[in-house]
Amino acid sequence: MNMSILLVGCGNMGRAMLGGWIEEGVKPNDVVVVDPGLDNLDKATKFGCRAFSSPMLIETGFQPDVIILAVKPQVISDVLSSYQAYAKKGALVISVAAGARIALFEESFGEASAIIRTMPNTPAAIRRGMMVSCANLHVTAKHKKMCDQLMQAIGATAWVDDETLMDAVTGLSGSGPAYVFYMIQAMIEAGIAAGLPSELAEKLAKTTVSGAGELALQSSDTVEQLRINVTSPNGTTAAGLDVLMGPDGLAKLMDETVAAATARSIELG
């Protein structure tokens, strides 16, 4: 990748993106990082990037191709004014702040600015994230290609045209890793309750979920067919699925879970 990047925020998600970009060929000297945290600045510096505690310290004349806003949603409004000049000179703005609407950035940077809102998730830390993006009317095909190049360095990408769908994206994939982690925790506890040693129960649960997920990704079968393939009539799997697929089973719980997270995303926005 050949582009200059201004990364605002170098916490867990910012560092995941930064590491992925450098692995994909971005030159560290082409990345400027701004973060008030000394620990985060130190980590950015170790990547070889120029790192500053304040945007006021960035050298005069620097103009990034893209600004990545990777700060907490609750402080996003406080930092935007510091980067208006870059956007007005043509920098693409990409936000990964959950719940922050495109309109918020248009109000600060101007309606003519190219704005992309992206919802990542935490597996980006191991380059297995899922990043869904939505663009305003001023984002060109070139801009979308730039965004995909940056986000594909940490996982898979997809686009939606309707920004209201980003709340459902947040409820499913943005929050989704926590649902899976909790399922693994529940499987471990169930294994221990069934008599397994805790270390073995943990290994079985983690490896089973990881392997099943990878099989679902790589197989040409639907996930429904994969479930059918492993379910012998009147067998042990069928007995377990009778509970999970009951009227008050997993489908109902997952509907309620995603709906609750989606509703909260709408509230925060």
Q: At CB < 8 A and 24+ separation, what contacts does 253-259 make?
A: 254/179, 257/171, 257/179, 258/168, 258/171, 258/172, 259/171
What pLDDT does 98 receive?
83
Q: At CB < 8 A and 24+ separation, what contacts does 37-40 make?
A: 37/10, 37/11, 40/9, 40/10, 40/11, 40/14, 40/15
Cα–Cα distance for residue pair 244/262, rounded to 1 Å: 23
Cα–Cα distance for residue pair 97/104, rounded to 1 Å: 11
Q: At 29, is the secondary structure helix, strand, or coil?
A: helix
Cβ atoms of 75 and 49 closer than 8 Å: no
Q: At CB < 8 A and 24+ separation, what contacts does 248-257 make?
A: 254/179, 257/171, 257/179
Cα–Cα distance for residue pair 229/224, rounded to 1 Å: 9
Cα–Cα distance for residue pair 101/52, rounded to 1 Å: 27
Cβ atoms of 215 and 194 closer than 8 Å: no
Phi-psi region of 267 (alpha: psi -120 to 50; beta: other; left: phi over 0): alpha
What's the average pLDDT block by block, 10 residues per block, for the chain (269 residues)? 92 92 92 95 93 94 95 89 93 92 94 94 94 97 96 96 96 96 98 98 98 97 97 95 95 97 87
- Tell how strand 115-119 and strand 129-135 pair up: antiparallel
Cβ atoms of 216 and 226 closer than 8 Å: yes
Cα–Cα distance for residue pair 22/3, rounded to 1 Å: 12
User: In the numeric block, which tokens belong to residue 88?
Assistant: 């007005």
Report the amino acid identity of residue 138: H
Cα 107 to chain centroid distance, Å, stands at 24
- Identify which of 52, 77, 70, 53 has the alpha carbon closest to the alpha carbon of residue 13: 70
